[in-house]
Amino acid sequence: MMSRQAFLCSLGSLYLSLLFIFLLMDVYARPANNSALKEKPADSKDENEILPPDHLNGVKMEMDGHLNKEFHQEVFLGKEMEEFDEDSEPRKNRKKLTVIFSKVDINNDKKIGAKEMQRWIMEKTGEHFQEAVEENKMHFRAVDPDGDGHVSWDEYKVKFLASKGFNEKEIAEKIRNNEELKIDEETQEVLDNLKDRWYQADNPPPDLLLNEEEFLSFLHPEHSRGMLKFMVKEIIRDLDQDGDKKLTLSEFISLPVGTVENQQAQDIDDDWVKDRRKEFEEVIDANHDGIVTMEELEEYMDPMNEYNALNEAKQMIAVADENQNHHLELEEILKYSEYFTGSKLMDYARNVHEEF
């Protein structure tokens, strides 16, 4: 008969084996090119200060062409988005959501209409714009150490390569002396793409120097119509398989690069395709002809487009409008809180009236 000590050792070995299998499943379940599931290295702060972010708050699509999974929460909560998370006490989150409801309901009729939601979306998007402006001031100072108000491509290139682990003084000297830089292929490809964006952000007359406003366009293309067009061209270039500079549904929903290893990964990919198909057919393809042009994608991407904001407002209302009156009551928003805040409020019906 097995001793107690041997039994415990056996249990411990079984636990470690199961843990190892679980970790392997978690790794293989991630699509290779799904930005929403990428893990950020803990020491990437300095690099992120000077690299254009892949994720732009309040914009419907990521820089790499993936859908922004947090878009609804970003345009409903604005800066308050950080206050809602799964670990927060549900009662506190209900109270916060009730306060937000009263702010959106400007005519105080206890329900939110499309125009009220449109106004709110534009206001919250404006908050994200202002936040980007403030962050840009700090990031611009990081790449403009001499404080002359302009940054050259070479100055930026030195800072970028330093953030990738290169010796800043050595790189600066090599660039100054026009010496060859020994850079790996992946880093060089990123640099080439950044250089294209740098030149696009350089407003006429071009001087190859970016001031603070131009640097904002470089980091946040949603602030510039010209850069927004450039971002759209980049996305279409990455997704367009036949080179006609338009997107068909099949091109838009093509799976991320990489293969899936198990059923969990297949489920993730199925959801990914489902979301993209719905967005393509119901939102981006404005004239429903099965083709998305650059103009259609640009209108879709423009965060300050009031017509888009109104459409978004109507869609957000439709998600939770259970009584079909084309308005949202507080009870409906609380019930569908996960859609609006990313946080699921438990026992909402039992507690909703406690807030009054």
**Number of domains making up the chain:** 1
- Interatomic CA distance for residues 297 and 283, integer angstroms: 10
Q: Is residue 173 a part of any domain in this protein? A: no
* C-alpha closest to that of 71 among 315, 293, 264: 315
> Residue 121 domain-assigned?
yes
The answer to whether residue 301 sits within a structural domain is yes
Tokens representing 285? 């393809």
d(Cα 69, Cα 309) in Å, to the nearest integer? 17
- Contact between 129 and 228 (Cβ < 8 Å): no
> What mean pLDDT is predicted for residues 175-201?
92
Domain membership flag for residue 23: no
Comparing 256 with 341, the larger pLDDT belongs to 341
The tens digit of pLDDT for each residue in 258-314 reads 444 455 555 556 788 888 999 999 999 999 999 999 999 999 999 999 999 999 999
Q: Which two tokens stand for residue 13?
A: 């070995």
* Helix, strand, coil % over all residues of the chain, rounded to 5: 65, 5, 35
In a domain, 10, yes or no: no
User: Does the pLDDT value for residue 46 go beyond 70?
Assistant: no
pLDDT of residue 64: 86
The single-letter code of the amino acid at 211 is N
Domain that holds residue 344: 70-150+211-257+265-352
Rounded CA separation 91/95 (Å): 6
Share of the chain above pLDDT 90, in %: 61
Q: Is residue 21 part of a domain?
A: no
Q: Does residue 161 belong to any structural domain of this protein?
A: no
